[in-house]
């Protein structure tokens, strides 16, 4: 039975080839540095950083909060040894210490799709330019070095701060997957967001303008918001 050539199809991709799987990588930035997660190099810093984070910050993560430092260290060790996800430590250049964690998740090299997740920041790192620069550096690596087509952000549908962050960073909301997971004994409806490779050039321009030193006053306050720059770039 022959196919009907009149039926619509997606855009042809005659030159598409499988992309490389993500590997641990070091990426230098102005306010932060991305490094492959290492217990030897980062364990003490991250245990100290996460020991004092607000308990509510663990609510929508798959793990935590932990009863003691040993629990945090065990989690970090398992993350560093993960065969499924590629974990990175976020180094705050201001202090020289590891102050955050994130991971490339669910890589799909055949289709050029990957997710950023398992994000957890120390209280000192939150709401600083370093967190935005870290997300920019990891996104740039995926699109420009690995050549992926789609970059995903997913979160619990009730996680309003994560949803706001995704939109601020330029992700587009795609909908909610109902009854998607069971997390810590509760149903999780998952909100999906994405950025496509075709959107990256405009986003890159906005990120670089926002991160430029001249966008911040003497007190470190932004002169123009990233959301406004992204809207203008688009």
Domain parsing of the chain, residue ranges: 27-233
Given a cut of 70, whether residue 2 has pLDDT beyond it is no
For every residue of the chain, DSSP letters joined together read: ----TTS--PPP-TT--PPPPP----EE-SSEEEEE--HHHHHHHHHHHHHTS-GGGGTTSSS---SSHHHHHHHHHHHHT-SSSEEEEEEETTTTEEEEEEEEEEEETTTTEEEEEEEEE-TTTTTSHHHHHHHHHHHHIIIIIS--SEEEEEEETT-HHHHHHHHHTTPEEEEEEEEEEEETTEEEEEEEEEEEGGGHHHHHHHHHHHHSGGGB-TTS-BSS-HHHHHHHH-
Kindly report the pTM of this predicted structure.
0.95
Give the highest mean pLDDT range of 55-59, 192-196, 215-219: 192-196
**What's the confidence (pLDDT) of residue 3?**
57
CATH label, 27-233, candidates 3.40.50.300, 3.40.718.10, 3.40.630.30, 3.40.640.10: 3.40.630.30
Give the pLDDT mean for 128-145: 98
- Interval 66-70 mean pLDDT: 96
Q: Is the pLDDT of residue 230 over 60?
A: yes
pLDDT reported for residue 112 = 98
For the cut 80, the answer to whether the pLDDT of residue 22 exceeds it is yes
pLDDT for res 234: 85
């Amino acid at each position: 039975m022959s196919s009907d050539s009149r039926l619509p199809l997606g855009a042809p991709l005659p030159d598409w080839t499988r992309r490389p799987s993500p590997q641990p990588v070091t990426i230098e930035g102005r306010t932060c540095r991305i490094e492959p997660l290492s217990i030897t190099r980062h364990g003490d810093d991250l245990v100290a950083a996460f020991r004092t984070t607000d308990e509510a910050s663990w609510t929508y993560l798959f793990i935590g909060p932990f009863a003691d430092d040993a629990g945090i260290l065990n989690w970090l060790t398992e993350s560093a040894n993960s065969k499924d996800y590629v974990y990175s430590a976020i180094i705050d250049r201001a202090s020289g210490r590891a102050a955050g964690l994130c991971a490339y998740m669910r890589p799909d090299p055949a289709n050029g799709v990957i997710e950023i997740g398992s994000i957890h920041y120390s209280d000192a790192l939150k709401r600083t330019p370093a967190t935005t620069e870290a997300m920019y550096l990891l996104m740039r690596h995926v699109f420009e070095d690995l050549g992926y087509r789609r970059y995903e952000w997913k979160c619990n549908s009730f996680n309003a701060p994560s949803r706001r962050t995704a939109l601020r960073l330029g992700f587009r909301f795609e909908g909610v997957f109902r009854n998607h997971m069971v997390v810590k004994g509760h149903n999780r409806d998952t909100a999906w967001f994405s950025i496509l490779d075709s959107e990256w050039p405009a986003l890159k321009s906005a990120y670089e303008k926002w991160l430029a030193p001249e966008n911040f006053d003497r007190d470190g306050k932004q002169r123009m918001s990233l959301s406004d720059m992204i809207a203008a770039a688009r």
